[in-house]
Amino acid sequence: MSELRYLDPARLDALDAAYFQNRRPFPWLNPEGLLTAEAFATLYETLPDVQMFDTHFGVARKHGQQSHDRYALEYRPDLPLDAPWHEFVEELNGPHYTAFLQRMLGVRSVSLSCHWHYTPDGCSVSPHCDAKRKLGSHIFYFNTEKDWDPSWGGETLILDAGGPLKPDSAPSLDEFRRVTASEAIGNRSLLFARTDHSWHAVRDIRCPPQALRKVFILVIEAGGAGAWWRRLTRQRGY
């Protein structure tokens, strides 16, 4: 496999697929240091400006869930980003990270799309399961102690309903038996597999007006001949 510049190959290779796949209430891991320290610092310093983002506020969700308000930017190769971000995305689509995802998720092929979400004060992510087309997601957190106080929130919550709960419903947080908060400050990420009970959320953020919760999210889908068409039809709104 080619040499990695941004991801730490030893950290990737050390993660146990069997442990991940057998976690409850669904497969998830919240590792530290999957990016090298230098890579994290470089990507943090060259994050895209929020002025490049689209606004997603008050958007109705099909299962009646609360709007997931945020600024959003979909990655495209022609975006006017600093070079490290293009290099990082190229590495994520390379053989080493692809093999990592295949091993962790137990699949033969994967296809990636990616985007940034910046979230301001007063916004949240209501409890939901992702769309069935997804195999999972890998969220890279990009706040540090320099720009974020943990008391402001922003952690992804892993939710355990303790029993059957339809994925096309709109439960509140108090309906879940157990809530586990991820670590979301510094060089952390959250990898999880999509299941019919992979409920997750983010509580209302309470931060100063100038602060933003910043994440870079990889959406993992099955690869193969249909992957390109699925991405194209989503981008065109079909």
Query: Residue 56 corresponds to which tokens in the numbers above?
Result: 């997603």
CATH of the domain at 184: 2.60.120.620
What pLDDT, in 10s, does the model give residues 168-203?
888 989 999 999 999 999 999 999 999 999 999 999
pLDDT of residue 236: 39
- At 235 the pLDDT is 47
138 pLDDT band (50/70/90 cuts)? very high
Domain count, the chain: 1
The pLDDT tens digits of the residues spanning 17-63 come to 999 999 999 999 999 999 999 999 999 999 999 999 999 876 665 65
pLDDT score, position 166: 87
- Within a domain: 13: yes
- Domain ranges, residue 88: 9-236
Strand stretches in 142-226, DSSP E: 157-160, 178-181, 189-193, 200-202, 213-222
Dihedral sign for Cα atoms in the order 151, 214, 61, 199: negative
pLDDT of residue 16: 98
Which of 121, 106, 126 shows the shortest CA–CA distance to 27?
106
The whole-number average pLDDT for the span 127-133 is: 92
Q: Is the pLDDT of residue 163 over 90?
A: no
User: 69 pLDDT band (50/70/90 cuts)?
Assistant: confident
Q: How many residues does the chain have?
A: 238
